[in-house]
Amino acid sequence: MSYETITLTVGDNGVARIVLNRPDAANALDLQMTLDLMDAAIELDHDPNARCIVMEGAGGRFFCAGGDLSAFEKAGERSPHLVKAMTTNLHAAMSRLARGDAPVIAKVAGTAAGGGLSVALGCDLIVASDEAKFTMAYTRAGLSPDGSSSFYLPRLVGLRRAYDLALTNRVLSAEEAEDWGLINRVVPAADLDGFVDGMAAELAAGPTAAFGRTKRLLLEGSYSSFETQMERESRAIADSVASEDGKEGLNAFLNKRKPDFKGY
């Protein structure tokens, strides 16, 4: 399937790549990009060959600069309608990626701002170059957060730091973002491609369905009761034991060999 504002590929090693491809517009989100992201998330959710997903921005300078504010201005009185359409598409994409089996890595080489930061936060892992920058930026333009950032941000950095980022639009370096717990890894810019490729390949060779159960447990655990979460854990691990990858993993562990996971 072809897209207007992103590129989507799935490699033979099980690594899918979504590239936000509007470099002349700082990879900003417009209506078409939100539609493309939603369609890509649905397509990957149904592709058993996509066992890890890497999200990145074209051009290197920006992961994504957020929403395309020029489109909002051009829409005039219709701008609330446009924004609701964009967020409906974007939120559907982020929900699908969060609840899907394949681990999702945000590969941030440049700046992630506004909706771009929200998209990165909605990925399971964030790996950034040491030249990357992170900022909420919404209130600078008189706007409020979207794209799942108001859910993830306080859970990742705590409420006080979330207020700081959202109200002052403080810009964090990659090192600061790692120290705050906003991202997972910082690597030298020259090493970013190789590091993410290696991580993605390793995850793509893993027990994909078990990854999916784990992702959903961790996501749901932030708002579930203690007993409800334990019941979910019980059901998920029982499903894992019964799965082909579960049987393979147990056999490999007991026989001291490397498992050969198939993703189901």
Please tell me which residue in 30, 101, 124, 146 is annotated as part of the active site: 146
Please tell me which residue in 39, 91, 130, 197 is annotated as part of the active site: 91
Identity of residue 204: A
Q: Does 81 participate in catalysis according to the annotation? A: no
**DSSP strand pairing (185-187 vs 125-129):** parallel
- Which residue, among 57, 17, 4, has the nearest Cα to 200 in the 3D structure? 17
- Which residue, among 89, 129, 93, has the nearest Cα to 111 in the 3D structure? 129
Q: For residues 99 and 87, what is the distance between their CA atoms, to the nearest angstrom?
A: 18
Q: For residues 223 and 238, what is the distance between their CA atoms, to the nearest angstrom?
A: 22
Left if phi > 0, otherwise alpha if psi is -120 to 50, otherwise beta: which for 158?
A: left
Asked whether the beta carbons of 184 and 125 are under 8 A apart, the reply is yes
Q: For residues 34 and 55, what is the distance between their CA atoms, to the nearest angstrom?
A: 14
pTM summary value: 0.96
pLDDT value, residue 73: 85
> Where in the chain does DSSP place strands (E)?
6-10, 15-20, 52-57, 62-64, 104-108, 111-113, 125-129, 133-135, 172-173, 185-187
pLDDT value, residue 10: 97
Asked whether the beta carbons of 33 and 5 are under 8 A apart, the reply is yes
Domains of the chain: which residue ranges?
6-204, 208-254
What does each of the 264 residues of the chain score in pLDDT, given as a tens digit?
Answer: 689 999 999 999 999 999 999 999 999 999 999 999 999 999 999 999 999 999 999 999 999 999 999 988 888 889 999 999 999 999 999 999 999 999 999 999 999 999 999 999 999 999 999 999 999 999 999 999 999 999 999 999 999 999 999 999 999 999 999 999 999 999 999 999 999 999 999 999 999 999 999 999 999 998 899 999 999 999 999 999 999 999 999 999 999 999 999 999
- State whether residue 8 is helix, strand or coil: strand
For the structural domain made of 6-204, what CATH number should be given?
3.90.226.10
Q: Does 146 participate in catalysis according to the annotation? A: yes
